[in-house]
Amino acid sequence: QSQLSQALNGLSDRAKEAKEFLVQLRNMVQQIQENSVEFEACLVAQCDALIDALNRRKAQLLSRVNKEHEHKLKVVRDQISHCTVKLRQTTGLMEYCLEVIKENDPSGFLQISDALIRRVHLTEDQWGKGTLTPRMTTDFDLNLDNAPLLQSIHQLDFVQMKVSSPVPAPPILQLEECCTHNNSATLSWKQPPLSTVQVEGYILELDDGNGGQFREVYVGKETMCTVDGLHFNSTYSARVKAFNKSGVSPYSKTLVLQTSEGPPTAACPGSQCPDTQSEEQTLPFPVPLERSQLRRMSPFSSTLNLQPSFPGRSYFELRSSAHQLSLHSSLQSLNSAGCNFETQGTPYSQLGKCCLCVPVAWFSFDPASAHADIIFSNDNLTVTCNSYDDRVVLGKTGFSKGLHYWELSIDRYDNHPDPAFGVARIDVLKDAMLGKDDKAWAITEGGITKGATVGVLLDLTRRTLTFSINEDQQGPVAFENLEGLFFPAVSLNRNVQVTLHTGLPVPEFYPSRSAMP
């Protein structure tokens, strides 16, 4: 009885485990059904997305076919019209010649016969110069190459994920490597020091600058990325995650970047910065060489439909659930050696100090948007032209808010050229003098000679544009009621060469200069 009782106890334990196992299996059945419904819905959504993409491409291709169709019809109809007119003229000439042949007066016939014979030969020659050859074929010289797509469709299949390798750990943002420069932000990250999990790549995400949803702006193996095209006076949140064949890691801590709304100036007076000492000076703003080969992304122009603008002063803040670490630094101090980063008043490093308030805009001319006749040199700061006609070149940075000032020095000025200086929209005409359309505001030559300096002051707070020549203001205000996104602009021909100077303080003559923070 004792042995049987002991055996029953063991068997009872097995039966209890079996019941629990059955419950687990029944739960798995329910979970499999739920996962199947979810997976089917996901599969249908993915296939529908492919079908939608194919339909959009189909519409684009049909549009091209329709354009080709309209082009062929236009060419043929034009040829029909041309031939109809010539045939009517030829028929009229033939009828006239037949009437002349019937003329009974020999002297009258001889007076016009030579001219008629020449006209008949001339008309016959005109018909012989390819006039009776169709200018357009009836065939459509378009061949849709769908073999790669069909092959991809046939190869479309599920990928079995390997679960033997764990997912990566969340990356760590390196604050000392994160920086901003004009309308760009550079973010750097790394894997945790003790992590041994293999990483295949990283996904960097930014929001829209208004607290909206995050969007992917970079996917790749690099651990540093520069994002261009940020809005002025906006707050962006950035985060990064790692991935491998097993899956995607959790997100890193969120890095918050706030662009400036203040007007640009080189440095603040000591009375406005309590921690400033007399020996402290404004540091230059070089771009570090180690950052010159960074992977650059510009997602906002198409993905988020944002326009580039000068960000000015920036603040970085690293958010954490356990604590908050705030890293405050100006744009220039982030890129200058020997700067003091502070966290909640505690020095982050003891390399030194620099006192900088709202920084000025540093930019150059933009070869990508310029007319093809523009010639660039001096790191895209000096431009001229190889054409006698006026050609337009824009600056790389667009402005939508704030106070901005730059200068252009006249390096060469020959044979009475006609340059113009000012601001323009991104879609301004590039093959005409600046100001000839409604997308540019400019000053043309007037007191400009070789060696002169033209100053351009754009105040988007007051919505005004002011010019100066050799530090003498040219009238009170040249243009008013300016609103939107403006790019520095110049139009010139081959008789003039100018050099751009940026990062300058607002000139003394401007009335609001004393009121600047």
Domain boundary among 258, 289, 315: 258
Report, as an integer, the average pLDDT of 210-227: 87
Token duo for residue 128: 């012989």
Q: Can you say whether residue 170 is alpha, beta or left, with left for phi > 0 and alpha for psi between -120 and 50 degrees? A: beta
Q: Are residues 177 and 120 in the same domain?
A: no
Token duo for residue 345: 């008043």
Query: Which amino acid, one-letter code, is at 406?
Result: W
CATH number at residue 414: 2.60.120.920
Residue 308, domain member (yes or no): no
DSSP, res 193: T
Residue matched to tokens 């030829």: 90
Q: Which helix (H) or strand (E) segment is 319 a member of?
A: strand 315-319
Q: Which helix (H) or strand (E) segment is 248 a member of?
A: strand 247-248
Residue 320, domain member (yes or no): no
pLDDT for position 182: 65
Note down the domain range covering 182.
172-258
Q: Are residues 88 and 189 in the same domain?
A: no
Q: Are residues 176 and 110 in the same domain?
A: no
Q: Are residues 30 and 95 in the same domain?
A: yes
pLDDT for position 232: 66
Residue 396, domain member (yes or no): yes
- The span from the CA of 293 to the CA of 69, in Å, is 47
Mean pLDDT of the chain: 75
Q: What whole-number percentage of the chain has pLDDT above 90?
A: 22
Residue 415, domain member (yes or no): yes
- The span from the CA of 187 to the CA of 239, in Å, is 9
pLDDT for position 355: 30
Q: What is the pTM of this model?
A: 0.39
Q: Are residues 4 and 115 in the same domain?
A: yes
Query: Which amino acid, one-letter code, is at 458?
Result: L
Q: Are residues 381 and 465 in the same domain?
A: yes
Residue 510, domain member (yes or no): no
Q: Are residues 108 and 10 in the same domain?
A: yes
Q: Are residues 121 and 196 in the same domain?
A: no
Q: Are residues 122 and 179 in the same domain?
A: no
- The span from the CA of 474 to the CA of 488, in Å, is 18
137: how many CB neighbours lie within 10 A of its CB? 10
Residue matched to tokens 């607290």: 211
On whether the CB atoms of residues 203 and 248 are closer than 8 A, the answer is yes
Residue 80, domain member (yes or no): yes
Q: Say what the alpha-carbon torsion angle 507, 509, 510, 512 is, to the nearest 10 degrees.
A: 110
| Phi, psi of 366, rounded to the nearest 5 degrees | -110, 105
Residue 355, domain member (yes or no): no
Question: Hey, CA dihedral for 318, 324, 325, 328, is it positive or negative?
Answer: positive
Among the listed residues 410, 373, 334, the one whose alpha carbon sits nearest the alpha carbon of residue 493: 373
Domain boundary among 193, 228, 258: 258
DSSP, res 127: H
Domain boundary among 92, 127, 162: 127
Confidence check: pLDDT of 252 > 70: yes
Token duo for residue 407: 């200068």
Task: Give pLDDT tens digits for 497-516.
Answer: 999 998 788 877 666 544 44
Residue 468, domain member (yes or no): yes
Strand-pairing partners, residue 385, are 374
Q: 183-200: b or e for each residue (b if 16 or more CB lie within 10 Å)?
A: bbbbbbbebeeebeeebe
Confidence check: pLDDT of 86 > 80: yes
Q: In what order do the strands lie in the sheet with 391-394?
A: 391-394, 487-492, 420-424, 440-444
- The span from the CA of 181 to the CA of 485, in Å, is 19
Q: Are residues 106 and 181 in the same domain?
A: no
Q: How many domains does the chain have?
A: 3
